[in-house]
Each structure stands twice: as structure tokens, then as C-alpha cells.
Amino acid sequence: MSDALPRHASTVVVGGGIVGAATAFFLADRGERDVVLLERDGLGSGTTKGGLGGIRHQFVDELDVRLSLMATEFWREFSSFTGSAHDFEERGYLFIAETAEGLAQLKEPLPLYERLGLTVEMLDRQDIEDLVPGIRTDDLAGGRICARDGYGDPLAALAGFAAGAVLAGVRIFEGTPVQGLVRAGGRVTAVRTMKGDLHADRVLLATGCWTTPIAATAGVAVPIWPYRRSIMESGPFPSLAGIPMVIEWESGFHFRPTDGRQRFAMPNLTTDGGVEKGPGAPPATFDALDFAPLEVPPSLEPWVKARAARRHPAFADLRIASSWSCYYEMTPDDHPIVGRVPEVDGLYVAAGFSGHGFMHAPATAQLIVEEMLDGRSTTLDISDLSLERFRTGRRPFTATVL
């Protein structure tokens, strides 16, 4: 948005996705001056533009649920905080299970939800049919819903955060790739771009699956890698408007309405036609990451059409109008790295969200700003999200990908 790159900033946020824009907004909201955001392409051109837009509380780890509770307080009042419109449609996340094992897994975190004051209900077949009229349920063991879940629009939210940040004095530079970090001893001192070095008191890498190579220029190993996922959208589809986000627990198949259409998310398919809900293991090395082309595999559309028609007769003649792929930014435990880099003063990371970056963006941004400006996050303890957990072998989370 700006032209001439300054020589110095108090804080440089690298990455113009939803997390970077939200962090810039909250830095300005805290009164921080001379904040600069650098984006290599256009705002939201990475993972943010490709997401499904889901916002949910139904996790199995307590910190995830608390992050969602914190984030949804902001999503509900987005316009009053930012002055921009963003519609959080609280229509619920409806998980449906086909097996007794799947249903038992859905029941397992209920005591956690009750302890945190979150209303989550188990459903029988009739309950599911009442929520999604006409849905096939004869093959289901049951389901689970939280009515406070829902979905939003990642690009609209990003635009609101960016506009609010700019109005508060943040300078945003699109088309400005960061080539590396400049480190002097135990401190980061600048970011290097083709337009010159930008010196900074602190630097945040909110760079998704591109974080690893940038951090490596400062001698920091970060275990984040790209994993391609795909989204499809129907043509005009007036039926099933207003239903919850529906997720098949075993297959990972999602669908939900959006602007008079239906949007679908699906697992990847293996070469033998099996379902792959997430990567099997981290790459052997992070020195040369495999950025698979962002193409939608041709095998996915017929699978989606068949799966959709199997689940609801309204999808019998489904027409896919558009499809796209994006990168999930994965970590070994499917949870983000958020916090300071212990061995490099002034360097922070907020990346590796494994599909949850949009829904948690308001909470993540507020908490990383607390850590940057106050020395630690105070609203929630996010020490478990530190990069150090991968160095010590500590595993505080349950790895799950939807």
C-alpha cells in the first residue's frame, strides 16, 4: 500500500495473511508506533484466500478451546472493534460419525467442554435430520454439535484488520518479498528485501509454510512444511441454506452454504484411492521443502460428487463451478508455533496453524502482541506453543487434522 520502504521500524510483521494483518492491527491498537507489514505478493494471496472459513470450539485440547473462546468474542463484535464488516455466521459445526468408534471419539472431550462452560450436544439420527432436512442418516451412529461454532469470510476479515491497521498508522508494503533476516550475535536487527534492509527492534514471522526458509537465514530451525489441500464450490444452490457446517468424522468430508452456493472441503486421496485426512509424517528434512503445485488433483471432483450425493439427495446432480488448492502450514503435532524464538532476541513466530489460522487469528494476534510488548502473554498462557517443545521432545497436544 505504501511506496518507499523506511530504514527503521519498531516492529516488522512479515506476512500479509490473516495472522499478520491481525497482529499489525493489535499492535496499533496497543499504541505501538512505526509498525511495518511486509507481504511478498498481495494481502491474503497465500493460505488465507484458500480457506474454508470455519470457526469452531470443538477441539480435544484445552488450549485450543480457550483460543476459540477468546477468538469468537472478537469475531462476534468484529465491526465494533475494527469499523469494518465481517459476518460470523454462528450456525454450528455438525460432526457426524458412521461408526461406534467414531461416536466414542466424539463423546470423549465432553467433560472438557462442560468444565469450560461450552455447550456441546450429542445427537441421534432424528436430531441430525432436523438440523439438515433430507440428509442421509441410516448409516450414522450419531453426531455432535456446538451451536456457537460457524463460519466466516477470511478475505473480508483480513481486509477489515488491514484497513484498521492502516488507519492507526501501520504501513503495509505489498510486493515486497523478504529475502532473509539480519542477525547480529543473539539479536535480529533487520529484514533484508530487494528494496533494501529494514532495521527493526523486533520481527514477527507470520509467514505460514514459508517460515522455515526465512527463519533459517537467522540460523533458526523451524519444523513447518506445506501440505496441499483443496476446496470446491458449487454453482447456485438455493437448497440447504442456513445449515451448519457438516463434517463426516471418518472421511473428513465437509460442506457448508456460502452466498447461495455450497462449498466443499475434502481429504486428499492416496494413489490407491484411500482417504488421507492429513500428512502421515513430517518430511525427512526441512532443508528443501516440497511445495506441490497448487493444482486440484483430477481424482477429487468425482470423489466429491459421489460423496456428496451419498450424503444428501440434493447433491445428486451437483455441478462444481470452481475449485482451488492452498497450503496447510503443518507442524509435527498439528499445532502452531507462537511466541519468541529463545536464542534470538527480538524474533517471534506465529505460524504453522495446520488449518486453524483464520479461526484463531484474533486470539493469536492479541497473545503474540502481549508477548512482544509485555514480555509474556497474560490473557492466556501460550508457553505450550513455543518452538522449544519440538527441541525437547515434549508433546502437549493431540495431533488432529480435519
Q: What is the pLDDT of residues 341-385, one digit of tens each?
A: 999 999 999 999 999 999 999 999 999 999 999 999 999 999 999
Domain boundaries for CATH 3.30.9.10 within the chain? 90-148+226-328
Asked if 18 and 48 count as a contact pair (C-beta separation under 8 A), the reply is yes
Helices (H), 30-124: 62-76, 78-82, 100-107, 110-115
DSSP 89: B
**Burial of residue 319, with CB atoms counted within 10 A of its CB: 0-12 exposed, 13-18 middle, 19 or more buried:** exposed
Which CATH number does 90-148+226-328 carry? 3.30.9.10
pLDDT of residue 1: 54
Q: Classify each residue of 176-197 as buried b or exposed e, where b means 16 or more C-beta atoms within 10 Å of its C-beta.
A: bebebbbbeeeebbbbbbeeeb
Task: Kindly tell me if the per-residue pLDDT of 165 is higher than 60.
Answer: yes
pLDDT of residue 401: 67
All 3 cell numbers of residue 262?
A: 455450497
Mean pLDDT computed over every residue of the chain: 95
Angle of CA points 152, 302, 242, to nearest 5°: 30
Taking CA 242 as the corner, what is the angle to CA 266 and CA 127, rounded to the nearest 5 degrees?
A: 85
Longest dimension (CA), the chain: 65
Homologous superfamily in CATH for domain 8-53+154-224+333-392: FAD/NAD(P)-binding domain (3.50.50.60)
The whole-number average pLDDT for the span 288-300 is: 93
Residues of the chain with CATH 3.50.50.60: 8-53+154-224+333-392
Residue that is written with C-alpha cell 470457526 in the block: 55
Q: Give dist(CA 360, CA 79) in Å, integer.
A: 17
Nearest alpha carbon to residue 78 among 367, 358, 302: 358
222, 287 contact by CB (below 8 A): no
Between CA 252 and CA 303 the distance in angstroms is 13
The pTM assigned to this predicted structure is: 0.96
